[in-house]
Every structure is written in C-alpha cells, then in structure tokens.
Amino acid sequence: MRILLTGGCGFIGSHTALALLEAGHEPVLLDNFDNSRRSVAGRLAAIAGRPLTVIEGDVRDTALVRAALSDHRIDAVIHFAGLKAVAESVARPLDYYANNVGGLLSLLEAMDAADVRTIVFSSSATVYGEPLCLPIAEDHPTGAINPYGQGKLICETILTDLARAERPWRVSILRYFNPVGAHPSGLIGEEPTGMPNNLMPLVIRAAGGKLDLLSIYGTDYPTADGTAVRDYIHVVDLAEGHVAALEALGRGERFGVYNLGTGQGSSVKQLLAAFNGATGVNVPQAAAPRRPGDVAAIYASTDKAGRELGWKAKRGLNEMCADSWRFAKRNDGAEE
C-alpha cells in the first residue's frame, strides 16, 4: 500500500516509515517541521538505502493534502501530526484544538475529496484519565483532564462517528502508552526541538550533563518503590503496531481501538536502574514533589491488539534505554 504519514518526520512517524518499508509498503511523509528536523529525511534515506518522498506542509492546508493524496496515489493515511505537550495545552488550549482537532478535520476533508477513506490515528493512553483498574483495557471509561487529552477524545469521537455513518471509512485508533527508545542504527530517535517534558529525553539530558539532575516527580505514590509507574514501549515495537493496524484495515476491518503498550509497568526508579544497567551511566537524580495531573500507575492490557492485530511488543526496558542512549551519543550537538 501507498501510505501518507502526517508528521512523518517526527519521532514515531519516522520509525513507522521504516517499519512500513520493511513490510513492503511505500511511505510518503508530510511534515511542517514544527517539532521535527529536516535532517530526518537524509537519515531515513541512509537507513533505507534510497530517498523517501517528503512533502513540507501543514495538515491544515486542505488543498495541499488533497493534492498530495492524488499525486502520490495514496491508499491510506497514518495521522501523527499534532502538538503533544500537556502543560502547554493548558496554557494555550486554542492552539491545541486548532492543530489537533482542526488538523484532523482538514485532513478528513482532503481524504474524502480524494476518495481515500482509510486512516490510522495516533491517540494516547491519556484518554483514560485516572485508571479505575489495571491493566487498563480499551473498554475502560474515558475522561481526559486537560485540553491535549480532550482533543484526542474529540478526534476519537469524530472518527468513531465516521466509521459508523459512512460505510466506506475504515478507522483504526491507536492509544499509545509511553514511547521511548530509538532505531538501532542510532540515526533516528526522539529530538524534541524545545525543552523536553517527557521522562526519557530528560534522563538523556541529565545523563549527558546537559541537565544538573533528573527530578523524580513524586516518591510517595502507592507503588512498590513510591515512584510513578508507566508502560514504556520501544518506538520500533510501536511502529510495527501501526503496520499491523494498517494491514488489519487492508484485510477488511472497519473500525478498531487498540492499546499499544507492553503490558508491563515500570516505575521511574526502575527505569533509571535499567538505564544505568544498559549504559553504565549513573543519572544524577533527586526526589521532587509530584507533578500536577500525573496518575500513580497506568499500564496497558495488550490482549486485544494481540488477538485482533497479531501484534505484541518484543523489546524490553534495557533495549529501550540502550537504543535511546546510542542515538543521543551519536547525535550529541547535531542540529538540522
């Protein structure tokens, strides 16, 4: 299949482009480079052994997207493009709704006009809010607590209505847990353009001396060691999950919602210990107060993705840490 990846040069998009190639599909990347780098195109070409098609543009430019869909004879879209910093979404909700909800609507209009009605959507475990039970399954009630999460839920609702109302649409909604790691080549990985918010990029900064220390947000949670528990998933496993979801739609699935996680919860302290074990680097760290809006523990039930997509994460915490660190070292100081 020929697949348009919006946000294709970002962290998850770029790894998915490679997974698609490996599975025999043809990715076409669209990116506005708001939180990704132009150098990713050259790095993907180095790994793939040939250039990939990269279009510079914004998903909200309906005419541009429509033209891209027709010009490149696209069969399906994987929609990654969007903003993802929770605190920023609280401060600038309009930007978040305009980009994330407005962006999806613009994309869907372009797809409808170009007769492309198959879409895989990047959602987040954030839509579950405070877990009522663990592991968390896809039928757990949803309830987001910030504009970023609300936007994801609105997008899920729009896509659910489309799948119900119009027979030709095929929709797969993927709820990501905590993506970390990098491609084993060390050429592509997570490169936030501003100050990172997520744990692994901050661990990398502290490990490399760019941050004095890693603040552990909360050491009094009701967990085994008092620090918060998350389901970290290697980005290459996550990328392979997208291929599995796309291929299920290709086989005739009309609508699905899937957790993409490992099913394994790890605490902040466990992740730091794994990082130390995998890299030999001791990350300077200090206890800090809980971060507002954080839940104590959340991890996925992965049964549905295993059963219906035939997909399961294969890579463990050590590999996630080793690959993240290899990428960071290889790209230390690299810009554009």
Catalytic residues: 148
CA dist., res. 227 & res. 225, Å (int): 6
Tokens standing for residue 280: 């030999």
**Closer Cβ to ligand UD1, 99 or 118, answer by number:** 99
Beta strands in the chain (DSSP E): 2-6, 26-31, 53-56, 76-79, 118-124, 170-176, 178-180, 214-217, 229-230, 232-234, 255-260, 266-267, 285-288
Tokens 């680097």, residue?
281
Residue 321, exposed/middle/buried by CB under 10 A (0-12, 13-18, 19+)? buried
Strand pairing report for 266-267 and 229-230: antiparallel
Instruction: Report the nearest approach of ligand UD1 to the CB of residue 268 (Å).
Output: 5
Concatenate the DSSP letters of all residues of 18-45 into one string: HHHHHTT-EEEEEE--SSS-THHHHHHH
| Least Å from the CB of residue 86 to ligand UD1 | 4
- Minimum Å distance from CB 23 to ligand UD1? 25
93: cis peptide before it, omega within 30°? no
Residue of 262, 246, 212 lying closest to 77 (CA atoms): 246
Residue 247 beta carbon to ligand UD1: minimum distance, rounded to whole angstroms: 25
CA atoms within 13 A on the CB side of 5: 29
CA distance 27 to 169: 20
* Residue (5 or 214) nearer to ligand UD1, CB: 214
Least distance to ligand UD1, CB of residue 87, Å: 7
Nearer to ligand UD1, 169 or 176 (CB): 176
Specify the 3-state DSSP secondary structure of 173.
Answer: strand
Minimum separation from the CB atom of position 14 to ligand UD1 (A): 16
Return the number of the residue (78 or 228) whose C-beta is nearest ligand UD1: 228
Whichever of 120 and 228 has its CB closer to ligand UD1, that residue is 228
Which residues would be at the binding site for ligand UD1 (CB under 6 A)? 84, 86, 124, 126, 148-149, 178, 197-199, 202, 214-217, 228, 230, 268, 291, 293-294
**Residues 156/113, Cβ–Cβ less than 8 Å:** no
